[in-house]
Amino acid sequence: MRGPTKTFRLVATLLLGVALALGGCSEQPANAPAPTRIAFVPKVGGIPYFEAMNTGGVEAAKQLGVEWTTIGPKTVDPAEQVTILRDLIAKKVDVIVVAPNDPAALAQVIGEARAKGIHVLTSDTDAPGTQREVFVNQASAQGIGAALTDALMAKTGAAGKYAIVSCGPAAANLNAWIAVQKEYTASHYPKAQLVETVYAGEDEDNAKSLANELMARHPDLTGLVGECTTSAPAVAQAVRDRQKIGQVFTVGVGTPQAIKPFLLDGSCSQSVLWNVESLGWLTAWTAKQVADGKPLQAVNKVSLELPAVKYDTATKTVLLGDPLLITADNVDQFKY
């Protein structure tokens, strides 16, 4: 009896290949929905704070099955954020998350995104009065403002004159913290005085120059607050350079590894922050919830590390939690 011909063997092989291919398709349906595309637009690209936030977002995306992309502007010019948002609208992403440099400047483009069916959230910094759907807040303004003031007053003897070096003059989160600091100082530390607030953008060199100018303008200054993650190390560097450690005390909102050398030599007394990577994780999770149409609960189990995240329906705000107090003793617990 003759064996199978070459033609028969070829046809059989092809049929087997088709069968295997069809079997593979049955395991992954051709109509499976594409993953939710989330685009995060920080205030500025390339600084450790937003890089750490991106790390958290990327890790969350892997576990949640979404796509996470960060597109940061080169400067804090609000017009750059507007351009990026319009580009993302054209690309038809599912969710835009933005940390606004100037909320008012973004109001129109946020409205344009919503009109196209794109979800818009804010994170790190809010854009009140716009069509954003949810704000992912790192900590309450009251908590941060009070913690910064208490940390400084603990070093200055609850008295003296201090100044603030902030970043963007229109940054809603920074301005909310400063408002708390003014009120909290007046009500809790009557012998202390906030003498001046200046704005450096997200420019560390500019913040250092402004800190030097403040110390020259106010020879009796006893404290400086670096209100953002670029100005916190800058004010400490200025104090170190002028050899005023122990005379002018500094605190600030500094990322752990950037502020570490200043904590160790005493030019910075304490950093008030939050877990930045967790903020990125929470941002990605919240964006997916909104995109999936899942209502946020009063208390949400986000992950093992974030088992009870609160949501305020009145302000549409998700709150990461209480601020972290970073000192020379615990700074090495944080790797960003």
Residue 159's pLDDT is 99
Contact 145, 181 (CB under 8 A): yes
The yes-or-no answer to whether 37-138+276-320 and 141-273 have a common fold is yes
For 152, what's the count of Cα atoms within 13 Å in the CB-facing half-sphere? Answer: 34
| CB atoms inside a 10 Å sphere around CB 306 | 17
Question: What mean pLDDT comes out for the span 295-310?
Answer: 97
Q: Using the predicted structure, report yes or no on whether residue 280 has a pLDDT greater than 90.
A: yes
Question: What mean pLDDT comes out for the span 189-208?
Answer: 98
Question: What mean pLDDT comes out for the span 244-267?
Answer: 98
Contact 183, 149 (CB under 8 A): no
Q: Diameter of the chain by CA atoms? A: 110
Structural domain boundaries of the chain? Answer: 37-138+276-320, 141-273
Q: Using the predicted structure, report yes or no on whether residue 6 has a pLDDT greater than 60.
A: no
> What fold characterizes domain 37-138+276-320?
Rossmann fold (3.40.50)
Give pLDDT tens digits for 48-106.
Answer: 999 999 999 999 999 999 999 999 999 999 999 999 999 999 999 999 999 999 999 99
What is the pTM (predicted TM-score) of this model? 0.88
pLDDT band of residue 32 (cuts 50, 70, 90) is confident
Location of structure tokens 């804010």:
122
Residue 283's pLDDT is 99
CATH superfamily, domain 141-273, is Response regulator (3.40.50.2300)
Q: Using the predicted structure, report yes or no on whether residue 206 has a pLDDT greater than 90.
A: yes
Q: Using the predicted structure, report yes or no on whether residue 20 has a pLDDT greater than 80.
A: no
Give pLDDT tens digits for 133-159.
Answer: 999 999 999 999 999 999 999 999 999
Q: Using the predicted structure, report yes or no on whether residue 250 has a pLDDT greater than 50.
A: yes
